[in-house]
Amino acid sequence: MIELEKESASLKEQTAFLVGFQEHDEDAALIAGQLDELAELVSNLDIVPLTPEIVRVRNHQVRYRCGSGKAEEIAQLVMECEADLLVFDAALTPSQQRNWERLAKCPVAGREEIILEIFASRAQTREAVLQVELARLEYALPRLQRAWTHFSRQRGGGSTNRGEGEAQLETDKRLLRRRIQQLHEELAVVRKQRAAQRKSRLRRPVLQAALVGYTNVGKSSLLNALTGANVFVKDQLFATLDPTARKIELPGHVEMVLNDTVGFVRKLPHQLVEAFKSTLEEAVLADILLLVLDVSSEDIDAEWETTLGVLKELGADEKNIKIVFNKCDRIDPENDGLRLVRLRNMFPDALYVSAETGQGLEDLKRFLADFAGKSRNLLHALIPPHRHDLIALAHSTGSVYEENYTSDGHADLRFAIQEKYQHRFEEFLQ
* Alpha carbon distance, N-terminus to C-terminus of the chain: 66
CA dist 39 → 4, 33, 80 (Å)? 17, 10, 20
Confidence check: pLDDT of 173 > 60: yes
Specify the higher pLDDT residue, 151 or 244: 244
3-state helix, strand, coil in the chain (%, to 5): 45, 20, 35
pLDDT of residue 362: 93
Contacts of 383 (CB under 8 A, 6+ apart): 390, 391, 394, 410, 411, 413, 425, 428
pLDDT of residue 347: 92
Give the integer Cα–Cα distance in Å for 209 and 291. Answer: 10
Q: Are 397 and 419 in contact (CB under 8 A)?
A: no
Q: Are 22 and 66 in contact (CB under 8 A)?
A: no
pLDDT of residue 369: 87
Contacts of 368 (CB under 8 A, 6+ apart): 209, 248, 250, 254, 256, 288
For residue 221, name the pLDDT band (cuts at 50, 70, 90).
Answer: confident
pLDDT of residue 70: 92
pLDDT of residue 275: 59
pLDDT of residue 116: 84
Give the integer Cα–Cα distance in Å for 321 and 291. Answer: 7
Report the range out of 20-29, 309-318, 337-346 with the highest average pLDDT: 337-346
Strands 411-418 and 399-405: antiparallel
Give the integer Cα–Cα distance in Å for 191 and 156. Answer: 47
For residue 168, name the pLDDT band (cuts at 50, 70, 90).
Answer: confident
pLDDT of residue 120: 80
Strands (E), 43-111: 48-49, 53-57, 85-88, 108-110
pLDDT of residue 158: 43
Confidence check: pLDDT of 190 > 50: yes
Question: For the segment 33-88, what is each residue's pLDDT rounded down to a tens digit?
Answer: 889 888 988 988 889 999 899 988 888 788 999 889 999 999 999 999 999 999 99
Give the integer Cα–Cα distance in Å for 266 and 35. Answer: 11
pLDDT of residue 17: 95
Question: For the segment 269-314, what is each residue's pLDDT rounded down to a tens digit?
Answer: 666 666 566 556 666 678 889 999 999 888 888 889 888 887 887 7
Average pLDDT, the chain: 80
Q: What is the number of H-type helices and E-type strands within the chain?
A: 13, 14
